[in-house]
Homo-oligomer: A and B are copies of this chain.
Amino acid sequence: MEDANFHTLVVMEFSKDAKQPAIEWMLSRIQASKSQGGAGLLVRSLVMQHNEETVIYISGDTERLLVAAEMMEMKKQYRDGSYREFSVRDVTNFKGAEDLDNFLTMAEKQLIVRHELESIRATEDDKHVPGYENIKLYPGKSLVKKYLSRKIVKNFFPLHDEEKIKRLGRDWYRGIVSSQPIYRVKDYFGEKIALYFAFLGTYTMALIPPCLIGIMYYITSWKSVYREAIFAVFNLIWATIFLEAWKRYCAEITHKWGATDMVSSQFEEPRANYYGKMGKNVITGKSEPVYPKFKRVLRFYGITVPVISLCLLFAFQLMLWYFACEEWVTRQYVEDKAWLNYGMLYMPTAVYAVVIAIVNTIYRMLATKLNDWENHRLQSSYENHLITKFILFEFVNCFISLFYVAFYMRDMALLRSSLAGLLITQQVLGQLQEAMVPFFFFSRRAKQMDSILKKSAVAQKLENFNGEVSESDQRQANIESTMEEYDDTMNDYLEMFLQFGYVFLFSSAFPLAAVWALINNITEIRSDAFKMCRVFRRPFAEQAANIGAWQAAFELISILAVITNCALIGMDPEIRKLLPSNITAVNMVIIFVAVEHIVLGVKAAVAFLIPDVPKWVQIDLARMAYQSKQALLKERLESTTKGKHFLKGLVTQDPDTVGYQI
């Protein structure tokens, strides 16, 4: 027992009513060696002070973790600076191998522990979870996933590194003008979260030019007839360039992180909540639940599609009500210009913005339920379906009124005020919801926890008989268990997606949108960073090579923006005056449609011509591929030389003419 060395990596919290046999079985399996179907990890079990639930503290010794890192094909920095799959036999050639205990970062160790825990699988003999006759098992099912889905295990999370997170937080959200420490964020939180912040940062920086132009228009009296057209054209080009530049930057940083070639999803295991009759996986041949595809299709088209269509119709109806209210208050004001009625003028937009936020929240719950119910086999397809559901509705809910004003009512003044109202209200609400409320709870919780821990300090001393888990780890586990779980980057991206839409879809109508977005994002980076460091339980450091479906979603908006902006400009009477007066109205429309098609074509060409991966990254990747190919050829050559003797017996010719060289 190396008590002094027990550094807790991951904490597993059982629910209050978890039965003792189930807990003990899990404990024994975690400690059992790999060959006995266990995980070969170190555990200490204690009782949580603040709610008396059983908690197990999990760690692993250095050798165990290093071997697992190799089996997981984890990438580490080689002495030549490149990233290679870690190999125990080659360990001395990796950077930082002098101190093997700290060779892996805490985040990496936690990821390994999770992987190893999730790899504990039911064997042929395990028919059900001990203590729960009704919770059936099948060979190959991950025990931890079963415990989680059946709520025997309540939480399962890595511990924060108090010292590191304090230092990271200081440099991250306390700096005012400094750039984000993305590399350290990646080391601590993993590639997926780091990429979100990198994207947020890039996008915020990219908002500066349209912001400056917007301000310039606002403060100067320069009112050209070309004004909107210039701004829109600039924005359309800029949005394309920004998205391409982000793709390149993303390729660059993930290359530096050694995260470019991700494990394919083909061998992804079914999600924890996936259910179905037992069958065989056609690829691996292993037994796993199989849910007929036609049932999923039936559920999707039979229930999901109609329900979502109804939601979209409701969002549309909501908008019609909004305009009815809008009209009513305007009439009131025209009839009686009292100050109350003047104030009322702004009410419908503000109320509508709040209602949109509420409806969005309700819809998100509904969509998540539907998505769960569709029973997707893989986490990745589950996420993609959820993102699509979210985007579709939020797009309609947030933007339909603007489309209605712009293209049905054709009221530019109303478009401007609606856009401003929606954007600003939603941002203020978002900031409140995201930053202020959690901060309040965070402060209160920390104080409460301290008092609980102090009170139970004496009891704890007695109970914690072997004193192996350090007090700070226990305190941390207690605090984190009450913290909110960080769901995913989903909601953060969605917020940026809507903002991107507000700024670019109607940019020619409201140039100041970029200014509001910029102000919001400067605080957003900091409040999101604060949440990551202080409000949420530590997430596992998920890997990612890009921002996935979101890239496509933002690109879709940038295409739509071309259509909307061309239409807005085409409808502008000022611009129309610039064309020769003998052109008929029909031809004028055709001209604008032609321009729109050309802009779309140019946009496609620009996106095609800018390489998605910077040249130096391409060369670096090619060089690595070339080297490994050369190594493979060398190996082949050696084996073929042996093979020649084998061939001699099979063919009649004299093989002396053969003598390969590389």
Contact A40 B622 (CB under 8 A): no
Q: Spot the interface stretch: A85-93, A125-133, A313-321.
A: A85-93
Among B67, B100, B650, B655, contact of A650 (Cβ-Cβ < 8 Å): B100
A661 to B119, CA, bound (A): 11
List the B side residues contacting A283 at CB < 8 Å: 619, 622-623, 626
Among B40, B61, B619, B625, contact of A282 (Cβ-Cβ < 8 Å): B619
Contact B619 A659 (CB under 8 A): no
A576 to B327, CA, bound (A): 35
Contact A35 B659 (CB under 8 A): yes
A125 to B101, CA, bound (A): 53
> Is A411 in contact with chain B by the CB < 8 A criterion?
no
Q: How far is the CB of A238 from chain B (nearest CB, A)?
A: 23
Contact B647 A267 (CB under 8 A): no
List the B side residues contacting A637 at CB < 8 Å: 71
Among B35, B597, B651, B654, contact of A563 (Cβ-Cβ < 8 Å): B597
Within 8 A of B (CB), among A600-628: 619, 622-623, 625-626
List the B side residues contacting A633 at CB < 8 Å: 71
> Is A490 in contact with chain B by the CB < 8 A criterion?
no
Within 8 A of B (CB), among A637-662: 637, 639-640, 642-644, 646-647, 650-651, 653-661
> Is A36 in contact with chain B by the CB < 8 A criterion?
yes
| CB nearest neighbor in B for A630 | B284
List the B side residues contacting A584 at CB < 8 Å: 585
Q: Spot the interface stretch: A171-179, A395-403, A586-594.
A: A586-594
Given A100-B651, A656-B33, A661-B34, residue A639 in contact with residue B62 (CB < 8 A) = no
> Is A52 in contact with chain B by the CB < 8 A criterion?
no
Interface centre among A643, A654, A657 (most CB of B within 10 A): A657
Q: How far is the CB of A328 from chain B (nearest CB, A)?
A: 29
List the B side residues contacting A636 at CB < 8 Å: 70-71
Within 8 A of B (CB), among A209-257: none
Within 8 A of B (CB), among A63-113: 63-64, 66-67, 70-71, 87-89, 91, 100-101
> Is A295 in contact with chain B by the CB < 8 A criterion?
no
> Is A151 in contact with chain B by the CB < 8 A criterion?
no
Contact A651 B62 (CB under 8 A): yes
Among B33, B88, B643, B660, contact of A644 (Cβ-Cβ < 8 Å): B88
| CB nearest neighbor in B for A39 | B657
List the B side residues contacting A646 at CB < 8 Å: 88-89, 91
Q: How far is the CB of A97 from chain B (nearest CB, A)?
A: 8
Q: Could you say which interface size class chain A belongs to? A: 35 or more
> Is A433 in contact with chain B by the CB < 8 A criterion?
no
A282 to B589, CA, bound (A): 53
List the B side residues contacting A650 at CB < 8 Å: 91, 100
Q: How far is the CB of A567 from chain B (nearest CB, A)?
A: 9
> Is A266 in contact with chain B by the CB < 8 A criterion?
yes
A586 to B583, CA, bound (A): 13
Within 8 A of B (CB), among A413-470: none
A619 to B643, CA, bound (A): 33
List the B side residues contacting A589 at CB < 8 Å: 586, 589-590, 593
Q: How far is the CB of A548 from chain B (nearest CB, A)?
A: 15
Give A558-586 as 1s and 0s: 1 = Cβ < 8 Å from B's Cβ atoms: 00000100000000000000000000111
Contact A626 B284 (CB under 8 A): yes
Given A266-B625, A586-B586, A589-B586, residue A87 in contact with residue B653 (CB < 8 A) = no
> Is A264 in contact with chain B by the CB < 8 A criterion?
yes
Contact B34 A643 (CB under 8 A): no
> Is A337 in contact with chain B by the CB < 8 A criterion?
no
A626 to B268, CA, bound (A): 11
Within 8 A of B (CB), among A4-22: none
A647 to B61, CA, bound (A): 12
List the B side residues contacting A657 at CB < 8 Å: 31, 33, 40, 61, 64
A-B pairs, top 10 by smallest CB distance, nearest first, are A35-B659, A88-B643, A61-B653, A89-B643, A266-B622, A40-B657, A33-B659, A283-B622, A34-B659, A589-B589
7 A-B pairs within 8 Å (CB atoms) are namely A33-B657, A33-B659, A67-B644, A67-B658, A67-B660, A71-B637, A283-B622
Q: Besides the contacts A34-B661, A62-B653, A267-B622, what 10 more A-B pairs have beta carbons closer than 8 Å?
A: A63-B651, A63-B653, A67-B660, A87-B639, A88-B647, A91-B646, A91-B647, A101-B651, A585-B585, A589-B590
